[in-house]
Amino acid sequence: MSISHPAKAQSALYFYIIIKLSVMKNKVILITGTNSGFGWLAATGCAALGHKVYATMRDTKGRNAEKAKALARQPNVNVLDVELTSGRSVNEAMATILEKEGRIDVVVNNAGVYATGIAETFTEEDLEKVMDVDVKGPWRIIRAALPHMRRQGEGLIINISSVSGRFSFPFQTVYNTAKFAIEGLTEGLYYEVRPLGVDVVMIQPGAFPTEVWGKIVNGSDTDLIAAYGDLAKVPQQIGAGVAQMFEAMKPNPRLVADAIVNLIDTPAGKRPLRTVVDPVTGALTENANKQVKEQFDHFLTAFGMQEMLS
């Protein structure tokens, strides 16, 4: 029996990385919501592999100034101040990227807000606040990038959905609604633009300990809460349960960033529509995805669209 020498193993790993970097086509990547969490990890991870990353966040001269400076110090990272609720801001960012790079290869729609609480307490304005960031924001980015990807004949759009886009968990109904919308947006586009060389896919993360938990949107019509009696205590109980789960299971947010990198590295046309990243309850979502896909494939075939499945 032979025992490999640590130095040789380390040397082999080093040469593997060098070879991988030498044959990999570096891509121009736009990632939204990079001031923390999945976005920060994805930006630094992609940049470390040699990709040119344009990392967007809001308020780079204000509350996110230090984070913007820290991220901009990373090799291959350019930080852009982008307000996703503004079509003008999004279009200006895309114009900047195209002027500098001449192309856009990958878009990662990661930015979003989390909403929880009794659904009835969310006013029309509260609902719009969530939808403007979580649904309209990605749509603005897609509309800005897709024409250039079509002309290139290639491109990749990754939307960060959620397991809450497959099942609507109680007391985060508004958030679920936004993620259901992302699921519909992504699935429809997946079939529409794949024949044009553009892959539109999504990642369905479970719950991970990121800064999103400190930026929760609640319903503002608090006068309604008393009418729910003891049910009004459930959102807080759920929050406590999630905190206990984080402490016990310690799910690593880097898993989501790794899934983004893996999708970028996967050959065009071979990327799955949905990628579940949920080490705690992911089996439930994966089983649902599998069963729905099988039936949906039959449906598209019955309507003569089987060529979109290959």
The model's pLDDT over 161-209, given as tens digits with 9 standing for 90+, comes to 999 999 999 999 999 999 999 999 999 999 999 999 999 999 999 888 7
| 11 within domain boundaries | no
The answer, yes or no, to whether residue 283 has pLDDT greater than 50, is: yes
| 132 within domain boundaries | yes
Q: Are the beta carbons of 168 and 176 closer than 8 angstroms?
A: yes
| 288 within domain boundaries | no
Residue 86 belongs to domain spanning: 23-281
The answer, yes or no, to whether residue 128 has pLDDT greater than 90, is: yes
Q: Which is higher by pLDDT, 222 or 23?
A: 222
Annotation says 175 is catalytic? yes
| 15 within domain boundaries | no
Question: What confidence score (pLDDT) does residue 308 get?
Answer: 73
State percent of the chain over pLDDT 90.
76
| CATH assignment at residue 234 | 3.40.50.720
* 231 Cβ contact partners less than 8 Å away, ≥ 6 residues apart: 118
- Catalytic position from the list 54, 114, 175, 190: 175
| 290 within domain boundaries | no
| 299 within domain boundaries | no
Q: What is the pLDDT of residues 37-60, one digit of tens each?
A: 999 999 999 999 999 999 999 999
Please tell me the total count of domains within the chain.
Answer: 1
Virtual torsion, Cα 30, 35, 36, 42, nearest 10 deg: 20
Question: What confidence score (pLDDT) does residue 257 get?
Answer: 95
| 289 within domain boundaries | no
- Token look-up 């080093």 returns 14
Residue 240 has which token pair?
């406590």
Q: How many CB atoms sit inside 10 A of residue 294's CB?
A: 10
Out of 6-15, 84-93, 255-264, pick the least confident: 6-15
| 172 within domain boundaries | yes
Q: Which is higher by pLDDT, 296 or 145?
A: 145
pTM for this prediction: 0.89
State percent of the chain over pLDDT 70.
92
